[in-house]
Amino acid sequence: MATSAKKIFELFVSKVPWTLSSKEMKEYFGQFGQVKKCLLPFDKETGFHRGFCWIGYTSEEGLQNALQKYPHTLEGATLQVQRNRKVFVGQKTNKEVPEES
């Protein structure tokens, strides 16, 4: 039923300033490749996001492009960007923007 086994090309971004929302993150990281997924969890108690974010690219290329740039400065703040190591499970704050390509 499924066409091919899909690999995930994900970044883990931390130190995201509170002023940015997933829209801005997606726009910014979109310059390196097509962003399939942008997950910036918000805390339902406080209304602020938690300061970290996952960016999923459709291809390895986008991921590599993003990793090669240093530093990632967005609106005066330096984001910490690394390849996502842990698979993220059990997301309760559903801020997912899934987009089928």
Rounded to the nearest 10 degrees, how much is the dihedral formed by the CA atoms of 86, 57, 40, 85? 10
Q: For residues 55 and 36, what is the distance between their CA atoms, to the nearest angstrom? A: 8
Residue 35 Cβ vs another protein, minimum distance, rounded to whole Å: 17
Between 61 and 71, name the residue whose CB sits nearer to another protein. Answer: 71
Q: For residues 21 and 39, what is the distance between their CA atoms, to the nearest angstrom? A: 10
Instruction: Give yes or no for a contact between 62 and 9, defined as CB atoms under 8 angstroms apart.
Output: yes
Which part of the chain contacts another protein (CB under 8 A), choosing from 19-27, 29-37, 53-61? 19-27
For another protein, what does the binding mask look like between residues 61 and 80, x meaning CB under 8 A?
----------x-x--xxx-x
Q: Is residue 4 a contact residue for another protein (CB under 8 A)?
A: yes
Which part of the chain contacts another protein (CB under 8 A), choosing from 26-34, 37-45, 52-60, 61-69? 37-45
